Each structure stands twice: as C-alpha cells, then as structure tokens.
Structure 1
Amino acid sequence: MERPELPLQQLHAFVVLAEELHFGRAAARLGIAQPPLSQQIRRLEGKVGYALFSREPGRIGLTAAGRELLPAARHALTHLAQGLTAAREVGSGRAGHLRIGFAASLALTVLPSLLRTFRERFPAVDLDIQEMTTTPQLAALRERTIDIGLLREPPARDAELGFETVLTEPFVAVLPASHPLAAQRAVQVEQLADCPFVLLPRAVGPPLYDQIAGLCIAAGFTPQVAQHAVEWQTVCALVGTGLGVSLAPESIRRIRLEGVAFRRIEPDTVRTRVAVAWRKNDPNPLVPGILAALNQDPPGTP
C-alpha cells in the first residue's frame, strides 16, 4: 500500500499546535486565522487515518498517534530548512564543489595564493585539486571532469573554453651544477647547442614545447633530446644527474635540488604564458568566484 505524502505546511501547523496546545495561540504564531489552521489539522489527520489531538472543552492534547508523529515532523521540517539553506549557499556560490586542474609547476607560483584567497572568501566550498599537464586539462574541461584549469600556453581561441592570462614569465637554463656554463651568470642559448636536452614530451603541452624548441632554433640548432620527463621536478632531477640540460619557465628555479643550477638566458625575448581556463557559460556559480579570487590576489603574492 502506497504511503500518503504529508504536505509540509500541514506538518508545520501540526508542530506549532503541538507546542502551543491552543488553537488561538498556534494560529497567531502561524500568522493565519483559526479556521484554516483547523482545516489543515483535519486534512493531516485524514491522511494519517487517526486523530492527532484529543479535543475537550477548553483544552486539547496530543493523542498517542500525535506523540508518535511529533519527532518525525520536527525532523522533516529541520531537514527541509537545512536543505534550503544548503541550496541557497550553493546557488549563491558560497558553498558547493569545485574541481581544479593545475600544472605541477604552478604549485610554485599561482596555486598557493589562489587557494589561500579562495579559502578565505569561500570557506564552505569543497575543493578537489588535480595535478595534470596542459593537454589533459583541456580534455578534462571539455569532458566536464574539472571546472577550472591552471595551465601553460593555452590555445589562442576556443569555441567552448575561455582563457585569461594570469602570469607571464621568462625561461631559464637548467644545468648540472658541475657544468662549465654554471659558472656564468647568464647563458647564451647557442652555448647549449652541443648539449643533450631533458624535456617534457611535446604531447603534454605542444605550445610550451614549441616555444623551447623555437628558442633553440632561433639560436641556430635543434635540441637533441636525450630524455623525456612528464613533470618539471623530474626534468630538474635528471639534469642534476648529468643526463643533460634544459630550458624551463623561470618559476622552476624554486625547485631546490642539489646538483642543479639555474641561469638566466640571453637573448631573453620569449615569455611563457600561464592562464586560467574554464567552460564558457558554465552554470557553476563557483567559477566566477575563483576568477574573481585570481583578480583580487595577483599570482605569486606572498
């Protein structure tokens, strides 16, 4: 047998009358006249199938059925109030769930200040932070498995995704500390022509890879890649073992590894672009919130 649904308005009237045990006072609390209150109670009793109140001249009381229903009615009303509050918080962007993809190197620059500012403004938001390189981030945004991406060298334009530059930075040479060029304050890119290179695979970030290759080509040579590594920290670690040299975004020098030296390069004419990416027309109200947090607290702010 299907159980009848109990309208919340009737439950509210029932709880108030159970607390007041007086139709006049209960009606005044509810802001309604006494006859509509009596009708709501009668409809509720009709759905339950039993009287909820005993009625005697000058007084009313809860029946056994009424006493049984009261805690459940209070729980239902409280649960509804909590649900409405949570819905308002999520709808306003003050709460909810936000999934952020980020390139590992941005944990050294953009990510810490962004998360600090966002946490201060939206402490009730549940953040899911996932480390991934640029190409997987673009795919994850399109597949809706992340909401925001922090990546390097985004596409110039995209019909589905929006991009905003948050940081630009130059490149530096990454050298074994024992390398003769490490004794110099700056390195000419052409001085690296005969060195094996350790680089990220082109597939994980084609524009960034092409920038690095372009620096070498402009200096008159094509980099000879001896080893690939997916993360910059691994690139630096392999350089430190003597496997080769690399060119990397300047923020990579914050990775402090024994046996690795970072030197500025000449000519210093190319900048790598860090951007935030999002789906255009994304209904998640937290997306504008994190974009505002980026604008409020510039990347790298201590």
Structure 2
Amino acid sequence: MERYEIETFLALAEELHFARTAQRLHISPGRVSQTVKALERRIGAALFERTSRHVALTPAGRQLRDGLLPAYQQIQQVVADVTAACADISGVLRAGFTAPWSGKLLAQAAETFSSRYPHCSVELLGATYHNAITALRRKDVYLVIAEPPVEECDVVVGPVLFSERRALVVPAAHPLAARESASLEDLAVLPLVTAADVSRAWREAYFPCRTPADAPIQHGAMATASRSSHSDQAMTA
C-alpha cells in the first residue's frame, strides 16, 4: 500500500465522513472515494458500508484498521522523534583544516550542514598541521581535515575524502621550473626546504632524507608558519 492510501483509509475510518476526510487531507471527496474503491478492489472486499446518510466500517475494514493503525502511529512517532532531535541540534560546530583546498571542501560542507540545522553555526579554523592537531587535542575543534599520514596515537583517523597530485614548489628561475614534471630523484639536486611543526611520519613522507634510488637529499632551511595558533585563519558559516 502507498502512504497516501494508508492515510486516506485511516482518516476515513476515523471520520466516517467523505467530505470531512477530504477537508482533513486537503484533497477532493472524489479522490477519497477513488482511493477507497481501489483498495477494496485490491483486497477483494468492501471496507466501508456507505449510504447517503451513513458510513461505517465493515468487518474487513475494521480488521484492516486495527492492523494498520498501530504500525502507522509508530512510524509517525519515529518521524516526530527524529525531527525533534534534529531541531535540538544547536550551538557551535568547530572544524579545522590544514590546506586551502581542504578549507574549500569544508566550507561547502558547512553550508549544507547549516541549511539543515539552522540553530547550529559552524566555525572553520585554518591552521598548520601542528596547530590543528593541538586544537583537536584541546577540543578547540571537533574535527580536522589534514593531509595524510596522520599518525597520532590519540587521534582517530577517518576515511580519505579526496586526493590531489603532489607538487614541487620552486622559484621561477629554478632549473626544474621549466620542466613539466619532476621525480623524487630530483630532490637530490638542491637543498630541500622542510616544514616545521609537523609529525615525524608526515615529514618522512613529504621531506625524505633519501630518494628511492638511495641518493641523499640535503635538507635546507626550515619553514615555519607566519602566524601563531592564536591568529590562525578562522571563518564562520
């Protein structure tokens, strides 16, 4: 049975009046009659006794009502409970990200979340890896989108959301800048600027000490963030 058939039948079983049922369901009396007749043809028995002055349930109609009503009421209660639970979602949801492309994805998700839960605002924090993990540990944010690997013993790692090709950033005058691509072996050509405030696993993944062919990679200056954990970029959705 379709939902509208169940609702029409139960409404008529309660009202026992076609016009009142139609008004209650915001449909025409003819639509109520058509729906009931279709149900009766499907079941193979009359569900209502109807005259010009009287509408009553038949034994088959009472049996159908008694079987459908508890289940329908349970469904209605579940929907009401979930709706109420969603309406109670309020406050501030804080999330962090460590790269601009992650921030764009998170901003889109925050917009969707805010439209579904208007009583809850979303605050986004752009930070370095170290500051983002620190904020997560301090519960300043509830989740962080960060580049893998994330191997922190007290941090639960979720699924991969998206992936991008790795890029090597060099000055415009650098010999590698004129090439369309570079390999990990090219890291042995000149000193490699490394990042501060990252985990050991992250540093080994992005700033290795040797190439795949075992050539040594010289590490140069250490790059640090120009902002502190108290001045990281923040957005509100």
TM-score (norm. length: structure 2): 0.49
TM-score relative to the length of structure 1: 0.40
Greater RCO between the two (CA within 8 Å, min separation 6)?
Answer: 1
Per residue, is there more strand in 1 or in 2? 1
